[in-house]
Amino acid sequence: MKSILYISLILCYSLNLFAQQPKVNTYVLGQGITFNGEKGYKLRLNGFVQPFMESKSYSDSADGTFNRFRMRRLRMRLVGDVPQYKIDYRFQIDLSGQSEVGDASSNFLMDAWIAYNPTKRIKIKFGQSSSLTDNRELTMGSQTLQLPERSRVTSAFSTIREFGLFASGNFKTGGGTYLRPFLAITNGDGLNVFEKDHGGLKIGGRLDFLPFGLFTNFGQFRQADMVRELAPKLVVGVNYSKNNGMSSRRGRESGAILYLDNTGAGSLPDYTKYGLDFLFKYKGFSMLGEFVKSSATVPTEITARVRNDGSTSSTFIVNNKQDITNYVKGRMMLGEGYNIQMGYVHKKKYSIDARYTHLEADQHSFLNNGTFYNRPNYYTVGLSRYFTRNYGFKIQASVTYAEMAEGSNNIFSAPITGNEWITRVITSFAF
């Protein structure tokens, strides 16, 4: 019901801007429908659908394969531009019931922000949006991914979307180079919070440097080199964020994990994350590299934890002894990881891609969880067929070999030996 209300409000506002007989541009598959109004007003409606299949098996198991069929993404997006007031905005919903990294989700709302552009080089945005304080892969559109699924570095450490204030710049720095700074001040709880907002603010930023100029056709925010850059293009970046008082594993939700002091007041750990990454493209070849590391600071005032049913407990048992600090850390995504992937898009729009991802958990970290993680190395090869250069229609398949550490489980949390094989197929149709 809320999603229908959001859509109605945005449509009413947008159509009001175009009351003076707007003109419709010629429709092109993958680019949506654009309405042009008086005084430069623009409104674009587009979206995409991604049916998905995944199959898992284990090398030392006779349990067979575990298959999963689902709608991976079903997005609708409304983007507007009001140059008279230096304003642009975006509204996006997802009706698949899945989060960006594949977890079950009841959140329909993905993006809902309005931006003011005081100059052509500076944008100030307020609302719910993806944050550039995550690794570089999260800055790239879901319909432009090089492989059927994002890397495990992304699923392990990223916040994905946050609600707050965002500022970004795009400055020429001489010799054809560019510098792109980004600053975010958010609630630190991921998507918009409808109930109590726990903890303090999250503050972070990113700094990108482009030594060879800007990418063609927003190529910095798309994975494969579909436009086949005629000159080498490179972006190198660093990012940092600190979440003051986090109530979840990595800052995606509010109130999922709560702790109290001896007065019954909330006392939450701080979560710090930093990383560096790069993206290179040239004549159909692309390479993406990312490194992320996280750490936590646990308050000494914590004396109790809140269970899922709302009751409290003062037991924090780790290795058969009371250990509050390491118990708290064991429920957070702590450690480091790196991801490197590359691929080549042939002129006939076939792409061959490969990825290697490594995760290294801290001694006390949820990254040691045997069912969802506890797999230090992932090796992936993929094949894609693009039918248009604007991602209007594509089919992708990949095979991943994951090394399982001791103590790993299958998808039903049953102990298992051997390693994991994952086959994925996805079709993407944008309109």
User: What is the Cα–Cα distance from 32 to 44, expressed in whole angstroms?
Assistant: 7
Confidence band for 1, pLDDT divided at 50, 70 and 90 = very low
Confidence band for 97, pLDDT divided at 50, 70 and 90 = confident
Are the C-beta atoms of 68 and 423 separated by less than 8 Å? no
CA nearest 256: which of 128, 103, 409? 103
User: What is the Cα–Cα distance from 192 to 162, expressed in whole angstroms?
Assistant: 7
Mean pLDDT for all residues in the chain: 91
| pLDDT number for residue 191 | 83
| pLDDT number for residue 40 | 79
| β-strands 42-58, 202-210 pairing | unpaired
| pLDDT number for residue 62 | 72
pLDDT in tens, 189-201: 988 877 788 889 9
Number of domains the chain is built from: 1
pLDDT in tens, 227-250: 999 999 999 999 999 999 999 999
- Residue 3 pLDDT greater than 50, yes or no: no
Average confidence (pLDDT) over 87-98: 91
Residue span of the structural domain in which 79 resides: 2-430
Give alpha helix (H) positions in 176-249. Answer: none
Confidence band for 47, pLDDT divided at 50, 70 and 90 = very high
pLDDT in tens, 398-413: 999 999 999 999 888 8
Quick check: helix, strand or coil at residue 367? helix
Whole-prediction pTM: 0.91
Distance set, CA 362 to CA 178, 247, 300, 337 (Å): 36, 19, 20, 11
| pLDDT number for residue 428 | 96
Are the C-beta atoms of 383 and 352 separated by less than 8 Å? yes
Strands of the 259-260 sheet, one edge to the other = 259-260, 304-306, 312-313
pLDDT in tens, 273-321: 999 999 999 999 999 999 999 999 999 999 999 999 999 999 999 999 9
For residue 345, what is the domain's CATH number?
A: 2.40.160.10
| pLDDT number for residue 294 | 98
CA nearest 110: which of 138, 86, 88? 138
Are the C-beta atoms of 351 and 148 separated by less than 8 Å? no
Please provide the distance, in angstroms rounded to a whole number, between the alpha carbons at the two ends of the chain.
25
| pLDDT number for residue 4 | 46
Residue 386 forms beta bridges with which residues? 394
Distance set, CA 197 to CA 186, 209, 285 (Å): 11, 35, 44
